[in-house]
Structure formats: structure tokens, C-alpha cells
Structure 1
Amino acid sequence: MIEKNILEKFDYLFDKELIDILAKKASLYRFNKGDIIIDLGQNIEFVPLIIEGNIKVLSEDNRGHELLLYLLESGDTCAMSLTCCMSKNISKVRAIAEQDVVLASIPKEDMEELFNTNKNWRNYILQSYQFRFNEMLEAIDTLAFMQMDERLFKYLTDQVKLTADTNLQITHQEIAEDLHTSRVVVSRLLKKLEKENKIELGRNKIIVIDF
């Protein structure tokens, strides 16, 4: 059970009846930046609802290389965890806290019951599926049709939108891991973007100018 006023900030998503139900059934968890919230191969027993903070969701190939699939923010849930819960499969993704995160954990049994009995919750889940599906299609288009410098700048502007801050506290290595490339390539392209007056580089930070 969690305090109902924590969920009332989502009254644009959920009606009062659903907020009351979630407050009774959900548990509150806190994660620090960098914590793994869901890991590859994990049995998923809950559906997360992000209260505060941001989460990045990644896949991994058989060589251990990670690829960023999508980002989650306040009010979002993870479509892949929904799929695993409903199909009783293990997780195919890794979810990592990009910032300190607070989330409501909804047990999968309650999620399934709500999906069958509550129209508001069912619509939220279906809309989440659609939104994440569109994001993954965009990720595929980015990989297939964009040059690496275009992918890098899109990544930076997406981070600005997500954090509502043009001053990004992020390392070249973290960007390289998210974009499935090398730190050397990222550093070279960041310097190119700086020369084009699109960004300013600092120590473990990037200021996005052309946004």
C-alpha cells in the first residue's frame, strides 16, 4: 500500500477509482542512479509505474553489447515488463535508473485482474504498448537510416527533452554504450558537434545549444 496523494499527480492518466485501487495494491520502491531495476533473464513479478526519475531500457546481443531501446519518465510503464508478466516469460531487457527513481510496483496478478476489469487501466496499458512500439520503430529507423553523428545529436536532444535540462551530466562512455559504438567515435563526433556550435563540452557534461 502507498499513500494515495503520491498517485494523485497522475489524475490526468487515472480516474479516482483506479487511483484508489492502485494505492491499495501497489508498493513503493526507490532506486539510486545506475541501479538495475529489471535485468536480463529475470522473472518479472511486477509492473512498474514511474513516479519520479528516468529509466533507460536496453537490449543486449550475444556478445554483451547493449543497445538503447527507449527511455521512461514519470507516468510511464515498461511495455516489455508488461509483456513478460502476461506471457510469463523472462525479461529480454535491462532497465537502469538514469536518475534517482521512485516507482510504484504493481503485482502481476493485480495487473492482470485490472486489465480484465478496469477500462481506465486497460486503455493505459494498450496506449503504453502503442507508444513503446512507436519508439522502437523510431529506434530501428535511426539505426537503419541515420549517420552516427545524426544519431548522436538526436540522442542528446532526446536526453534534453527527457530531463528538461540542456546541461547533461553524462560521460562519453555512457553515450557510447547507449549508442552501441566506441567511446573514441563518440568523442570525435562530439568535438565535431562542438565546432558546429551545437553543443559545448565540459568535464563529464555536455551543454546542448542548438535545441
Structure 2
Amino acid sequence: MITIQQEFFGIFEKELVTEMEQVAVIKKFMAGEVIIDIGQYIKFMPLLLDGVIKIIREDKNEGELLLYFLEKGDTCAMSIACCVGAKKSEIRAIADVDTTVAMIPNQYLDGWMGKYKSWRNFILESYSNRLNEMLTTVDNIAFSQMDVRIMNYLKEKATISQSQSIDVTHQIIATDLNTSRVVVSRILKSLENQGKILLQRNNIRLL
């Protein structure tokens, strides 16, 4: 199992890594398992040691929209805000694949900001990266047609998994992009006819 030392050595000060290893709770989540839910008070900040987490926003009609993915070495800026402000979560974090997370208790976050430069830079960079990803999501919704959004989604999944072969169902894509399975299936078939993808059972290969 990957450790905090393995993932963050050279990124954080040695003293900070030691503190993290002393206070963090390491948890494993199976693919599809909810890590943080909407309306939940967050007592720990997640540091992703292995796997992929997708961050989802839910509207009043319980429709879901994928905001961004977290990869190994990332944390969720939105959960940090809830941790520091003692607010209820407005997002749902779900393990996209089997995932290992270091859960850092809230009471250490603020102190580390003043004590460790690397931690402060990490948090600020995380905010910046997540903001840019959410702006990309907004741009896709506002300005891109669904076929472009689906291709961008598949390319991001391929980048994260480091494979052109993506294990995903039409329904999962529809849920993540807040559209219908019928629309997704029609567009995927069109993309296949254009020679951009190859459709297989519960798998899509980028060409």
C-alpha cells in the first residue's frame, strides 16, 4: 500500500510528512463508494494517495453534474473550505476506481498553513487547479455541444487512467454529464462512425 512518505516525499518538508503520518487515518474505498456526501460535516481533509475521485454537484431536482476529477497527489479545495469553516459539504466525492485516501483531521490544517511553506503552497495551488477545472466545466456546459463534452470527458478519463481504453458505461457518462443515456448512446455511435472511438461492452477505446 502506498504511504504518505512515498507520495509526498520531496513535496512537503520532512517534518510535515512526519506529522502527517502521525495524525492521518488511511482509508481504502471501493469503486463507486461515497467518500464525502452532500450535507455532511467534514471532519477530515482527504489527500489522495492512490486511485481517482470524482467530485459531483447535485441540483434541487437531484440531477448530478461532474465538476472535476482528483488524481493521486490531489486534494479537494471545496472540502478544505468546509473543513476550515465547519460548513456542510455541498459536493459529493465518489471513488471512481479503488482508491486510497489519507484523511487529515481538521484541527491541523490551519496551523500547518502558518508553519509549513510547502503546505501553504499546496493548498493555494489546489484552489487554483480546482477553480480552473470548474471554469472548464462551466465553459463546456455553456459553449460546447454535447459531442464535444463527451469527447473531452473521455480524453480526461484516458489521461487519468493512462490508457486509451476506458471502462465506462453509457449510463455513467450520462450521469456525470447530466444528460440522458439515450443521448449519450446516440452521440457515441456517431463518434464511432466518424472513426474517433471504438465501442465495446462497457468499454470505449479512443482511436
> Would you say same fold, with TM above 0.5?
yes
Structure 2 residues not aligned, in runs of 5+: none
Q: Distance in 2 between matches of 1:181 and 1:117?
A: 45
Structure 1 counterpart of 2:199, which letter? L
Show the counterpart of 1:107. 105
Structure-1 separation of matches of 2:18 and 2:40: 29
12-21 or 187-196: bigger deviation: 12-21
Segments of structure 1 that go 5 or more residues without pairing to the other structure are: none
Contact 1:56 1:70 in 2 (8 A): yes
After superposition, give the CA deviation of every residue in 1:94-146 in whole Å (9 maximum; x if it has no partner).
00000000010000001122123221111100110011011101111111110
Structure 2 match to 1:61: 59
Question: 1:80 Cα deviation (Å)?
Answer: 0.8
User: Secondary structure of 2:38's match?
Assistant: coil
How far residue 11 of structure 1 moved from its aligned partner, in angstroms, is 2.2
Please, what TM-score do these two structures have when normalized by structure 2?
Answer: 0.97
Check 1:155–1:89 CA distance in 2 against 1; reply closer, same or farther (3 A cut): same
1:106 partner letter = I
TM-score, normalised with respect to structure 1: 0.95
User: Which of 65, 72, 88 lines up with 2:86 in the alignment?
Assistant: 88
Q: CA RMSD in A?
A: 1.3
Structure 2 SS opposite 1:197 = coil
Which residue number in structure 2 is paired with residue 202 of structure 1? 200
Secondary structure class of the residue paired with 2:128: helix
> What does residue 171 of structure 1 align with?
169
Q: Does structure 2 retain, via aligned residues, the 8 Å contact 1:4–1:23?
A: no
Aligned length in residues: 207
Q: Distance in 2 between matches of 1:13 and 1:6?
A: 11
Tell me which amino acid in the other structure corresponds to 2:123: I
Question: Which amino acid counterpart does residue 162 of structure 1 have in structure 2?
Answer: I
Aligned mates of 1:173, 1:110 — CA distance in 2 = 40
Between 118-127 and 183-192, report the one with greater CA deviation.
118-127
- Residues of 2 paired with 1:206 and 1:121: CA distance? 38
Percent same amino acid among aligned pairs? 46
Provide the rounded CA distance (Å) in 2 between the counterparts of 1:201 and 1:108. Answer: 44
Counterpart AA for 1:163: S
CA distance in 2 between partners of 1:152 and 1:63 (Å): 23
Distance 2:115 2:12 in 1: 14
CA distance, structure 2, for counterparts of residue 6 and residue 141 of structure 1:
35
The CA distance in 2 between the partners of 1:155 and 1:114, in whole Å, is: 35
| 1:1-211 alignment, distance < 5 Å | 6-209=4-207
